[in-house]
Every structure is written in C-alpha cells, then in structure tokens.
A and B are shown apart, each in its own frame.
Chain A
Amino acid sequence: MHERKDVVSSPCQPAANKPQLTLRFKIDEKDFLIAGESASKTKKALQQLGLKQEIVKNIAIIVYEAAMNIVIHSNHGEIKIIIAPNQVVVLSEDVGEGIPDIELAMKEGYSTAPNEVREMGFGAGMGLPNIKQCSNELDIKTTVGLGTTLRATIYLNPADTKQVETGTMYV
C-alpha cells in the first residue's frame, strides 16, 4: 500500500470508503476456466467476510461476466475486487480491441463472440446487461485499439455512496 497524504482518516475508525481488502485476478488470453474460478473464489472470500447472500451472488456474477469478457473479447487483463465498508467495486481492466459502440454492446442479445465460444454456452449477448442488473453503478470506458475499463459498484449501505479510492485507470 502506498501512502497518500491527501487522504485523511481518523486512526481508530477507517473511512467508510477506504478499501479494506482487494482481491486480484490476472486474466490471460483464452484461459476460459479462470473466469469461473475467479468468480468462485470471490464468492468464498465475500461469504467469509459475512456479506449478504444476494450481494455476494451479484458480485460473483459481475466477476464471472467481466472475466469472461476479458477472455473472449480482449488480449489480457486484470480484475480487482475492492472491498470497502460501504461498497464493493469490481474493476476490470483489459488490453485489447476495445468496444466501438458501447450502447450497442449493452443491448441484450448483441454479441460478436465466435462460434467456438458459443459452443461452450457463452455468447448470448447477456453479459453486460447482466453486469448492469447486478450493480448499482456501472461505468465503462473504452478506447478502440487499446482496451476497456469497466467499473461496477455495489453499495453495501445505500445511504453512503461516497466513492472508493481505486487509483488510476489505464484507459
């Protein structure tokens, strides 16, 4: 952890939006199994932290879909699950082709997945809509030819929506 002088918090009570724990998964090209594994591991970790079942499920789904999108649609990337007392942020960053039309990509049923991927049961064009449904906030930034950053936020306490510190984004 690097020190930041501009973040002030009382020593006995950590700020609600300060990350307490970050899980990281490196996602390599064509590593199809890593997506489900990352989702399973995330689920177990969040269960141990005592988060509600429905919230744990939603976060696991987001991780699964985001990781699968990195595997299928990009070159490689990383998923971080940043856990703070008031929220969980799933940050997915990849290096790849990017998304030329985000609005189109968000449409249910829109998919550019190749056939070999469809045979495995993916490519329904439901991943991004599903991520949106499972999160309170979704922000996608993409640069064609460079890559995509997806940030999904789940608030644990809807009254407290102060943004968590996640550091710089690549795109």
Chain B
Amino acid sequence: MTLKEVQDILNAEVICGEHLLDREVKTAFACDLISEMLSFASSDTLLITSLTNPHVIHTAEVMDAIGVVFVGGKKPSEDIINKLDHGNIPLLSTPLLIFNACGLLFSNGVEGCMRGKTW
C-alpha cells in the first residue's frame, strides 16, 4: 500500500512530507529503542514509534526509513521539526496506540521487517 493509504487506515495527520505520500509501504518496524531500530530495521521500511525526540528523526534518516508514524497522537515539537533536516522522510501522527496501529497495517498486508546480515 502507499503512505497515503497508511494515513487513511490509521486516521493519521501528516506533519510533513505531504508530497511523498505516494511511496510504497511493504514493511514496517515498531519499537521505542533507538539501537533496536538501528540493528534490526531494514532500509525502506516504515518506522512506527511513540518516541518523538530528535534522535528518532536522525535514526529514521540513518536507517533509510520511508516514513515515520508517531502513535498515541504524539508529535515532535515544532522546534524539532523546524530545526532538523528530516529531508526526505514524511512524518505522520496517529491517535491509535501502537498495538492497534500495527494490527491494522498488518491485516492490510504490511509485513514486519528484519535486517539480515549484510555480507
């Protein structure tokens, strides 16, 4: 599905990156630990998290995430959004909590991702 469909399914607000919502979402990764994101998530995956600090946005950038969904209606502060170069990463916020957000995406065909050893 596309990020636009993710937005609809999760009833999410687009914080930034409106123009990138035609991106295809095949896999997602949900967690609240930075090192786990960095070690398990593969590239081109959708990150689902309740962390809204600047580290998450840097992490999304480093791991080549295709987008970030903040759960529980959380949003990074204006300051973080304006100051950080989140470049090509659309940021969304859903009122759903993490279990329901993941469940809905999973039942609509999005799979979990796991980064294998790279070489």
Write the residues of chain A forming the contact surface with B, with a CB cutoff of 8 angstroms: 32-33, 35-37, 39-40, 43, 53-54, 57-58, 60-61, 64-65, 68, 120-122, 124-127, 129-130, 133-134
Contacts and interface: CB of A to CB of B under 8 A. Distances in A.
B35 A127 contact: yes
Contacts of A129: 39
A61 B34 CA distance: 11
A64 B33 contact: no
Interface residues of B, number: 24
B18 interface: no
Interface of B: 32-36, 38-39, 43, 51, 53-59, 61-64, 85, 117-119
A124 B118 contact: no
A40 B83 CA distance: 14
B43 A53 contact: yes
A120 B53 contact: yes
Contact of B85 (A33, A40, A61, A124): A40
Contacts of B56: 121
Given A57-B64, A124-B33, A126-B36, A40 B53 contact: no
Given A39-B58, A61-B62, A133-B117, A122 B85 contact: no
A58 B59 CA distance: 12
Contacts of B117: 133
B35 A36 contact: no
Contact of B34 (A57, A58, A60, A124): A124
Nearest to A63: B62
B36 A124 contact: yes
A124 B32 CA distance: 10
Given A36-B55, A58-B118, A121-B51, A130 B62 contact: no
B36 A36 contact: no
Nearest to A60: B62
B80 to A, nearest CB: 10
B98 to A, nearest CB: 14
B58 A37 contact: yes
B33 A133 contact: no
B35 A43 contact: no
Contact of A130 (B39, B43, B55, B58): B39
A126 B64 CA distance: 19
A121 B55 contact: yes
